[in-house]
Amino acid sequence: MGTQAPQSIDVQPDNQVPVERPRTISRTNETDPAQHGEQHEGQHYSVPLQDLKTVFPHGLPPRFVMQVKTFGEACLMVRKPALELLHYLKNTNFAYPAVRYVLYGERGTGKTLSLCHAIHFCAKHGWLILHIPDAHLWVKNCRELLQSTYNKQRFDQPLEASTWLKNFKITNEHFLSQIKVQEKYIWNKRESTEKGSPLGEVVEQGITRVKNATDAVGIVLKELKRQSSSGLFHLLVAVDGVNALWGRTTLKREDKSPIAPEELALIYNLRKMMWNDWHGGAIVLTLSQTGSLFKRSKAYLPHELLGKEGFDALDPFVPILVSNYNLKEFESCIHYYLENSWLQHEKAPTEEGKKELLFLSNANPAQLERLCAYL
């Protein structure tokens, strides 16, 4: 058992998928991300389905979710940026202030899935996962905006906050009873949460009373930040599309004047999480142009997407570049699709077919996936 490191990718020139060693090139049996190393580079590993439900209730990109449903399994490719990130996370010094890692790259290169890989690793090791799947969803297309009960200047977003709390509960069920809040929170005249009660109560309050959901989110963030330094648990803050926090919003007040991001309570609290004034965990972020507002479609560098304010807020961070597939990864991806009989075209397994796909997609993972969907 175990994996065999592929010495070289010598693709059989005949049209049949090589039956003798299908598993070695594109797959590995190692399901624990902690054991992934350089020898697994380019290979797919499958995420067990129970893990999928608990760890990623809302985290995977929609096309990937469709692929999971079609194939019946969730396979992530082990790639260099993710390996690098896992290496850093494994060597985190929990006494030091939280380090921020920013995954950046052009559109469709695999930043979100690399983030998911890291989240899976942390979940397997018992970290508390604070995953915001797409921060852009919080700054646009919001139906209800209420004036915040806690601070009159800010705005609440009950719907987004309650959906997030539900997913947060699914991911971190076992932690919610262990962590105790350290302050008394009064919701309204009749309800309050006493000091020392489990965090699960705050989350319940947010889910049931949708009006207080945003404040519940704020409390959860504050408590987790404070308590992760105590060493009870390790906290992983994972935000996809973090450039939304410092960009512009498309939301407007009743008098049609635009709202700045800091006037949204969710964004304001999330920004506080991004500071490195706490320790006992790590912060992994991705920049995303898709879904961002008022940014050029080709923008991918940190300064372009974060702006001056965002960059200065996150500085110093470790930027990790995620690029298109290299040849090995590309071959592996094609093999994976062939194995699952996703590529039905008769020319797909041939050399020219592969060359054509390579040319058309330019080894961009998202483009390749879209192209193969038609074949």
Partner 1 sequence: TAERTSKSERQMRRKALPPRAEKMAVDQDWPSVYPVAAPFKPSVVPLPVRMGYPVKRGVPMVKEGNLELIKIPNFLHLTPVAIKKHCQALKDFCTEWPAALDSDEKCEKHFPIEIDTVDYVSSGPSIRNPKARQVTLRVNCSRLNLDDHAKKKLIKLVGERYCKTTDVLTIKTDRCPLKRQNYDYAMYLLTVLYHESWKTEEWEKNKTEADMEEYIWKNSSSEKRTLETLLQINAAENKMQVNKEELLGTKEVEDYQKSLTSLKNEGENEITLSQYKESVKRLLNFTG
Q: Which stretch binds partner 1 (CB under 8 A): 106-114, 139-147, 231-239, 275-283?
A: 275-283
Residue among 7, 93, 297, 341 that touches partner 1 (CB under 8 A): 93
Q: Which stretch binds partner 1 (CB under 8 A): 26-34, 72-80, 84-92, 123-131?
A: 84-92
Query: Dihedral of CA 160/215/228/165: which sign?
Result: negative
Between 22 and 302, CB nearer to partner 1: 302
Alpha helices in 16-101 (DSSP H): 22-26, 49-55, 62-71, 80-90
User: Could you count the other beta carbons within 10 Å of the beta carbon of residue 351?
Assistant: 12
Residue among 279, 284, 288, 330 that touches partner 1 (CB under 8 A): 279
88 near partner 1 (CB under 8 A): yes
Distance of closest approach, residue 261 Cβ to partner 1, in angstroms:
18
Between 97 and 353, CB nearer to partner 1: 97
Residue among 277, 297, 341, 352 that touches partner 1 (CB under 8 A): 277
Query: Which residues inside 97-136 make contact with partner 1, applying CB under 8 A?
Result: 97, 99
320 near partner 1 (CB under 8 A): yes
Distance of closest approach, residue 291 Cβ to partner 1, in angstroms:
21
CB 251, CB 96: distance < 8 Å: no
User: Could you count the other beta carbons within 10 Å of the beta carbon of residue 72?
Assistant: 8
Distance of closest approach, residue 101 Cβ to partner 1, in angstroms:
10
87 near partner 1 (CB under 8 A): yes
Distance of closest approach, residue 103 Cβ to partner 1, in angstroms:
12
Between helices 62-71 and 365-374, what is the axis angle to 10°?
A: 50
Beta bridge partners of 264: 155
246 near partner 1 (CB under 8 A): no
318 near partner 1 (CB under 8 A): yes
Distance of closest approach, residue 57 Cβ to partner 1, in angstroms:
32
Between 36 and 131, CB nearer to partner 1: 36
Residue among 302, 307, 340, 366 that touches partner 1 (CB under 8 A): 302
Distance of closest approach, residue 94 Cβ to partner 1, in angstroms:
9
CA distance linking residue 171 with residue 163, whole number of Å? 13
226 near partner 1 (CB under 8 A): no
Residue among 276, 340, 350, 367 that touches partner 1 (CB under 8 A): 276
How buried is residue 368: exposed, middle or buried, by Cβ count under 10 Å (0-12/13-18/19+)? buried
Distance of closest approach, residue 109 Cβ to partner 1, in angstroms:
14
Which among 91, 95, 111 has a CA at the least distance from the CA of 103? 111
Tokens of 42: 């380019």
Is the peptide bond preceding residue 316 cis, with omega within 30 degrees of 0?
A: yes
Distance of closest approach, residue 315 Cβ to partner 1, in angstroms:
5
Question: Rounded to the nearest 5°, which phi and psi values hold at 146?
Answer: -110, 155
Strand ranges for the chain from DSSP E: 44-47, 74-77, 99-104, 128-132, 146-147, 155-156, 185-186, 192-193, 235-240, 281-286, 318-321
How buried is residue 4: exposed, middle or buried, by Cβ count under 10 Å (0-12/13-18/19+)? exposed
Residue among 174, 226, 253, 303 that touches partner 1 (CB under 8 A): 303
For binding to partner 1 (CB under 8 A), which residues are involved? Answer: 87-88, 91, 93, 95-97, 99, 276-277, 279, 301-304, 312, 315-321
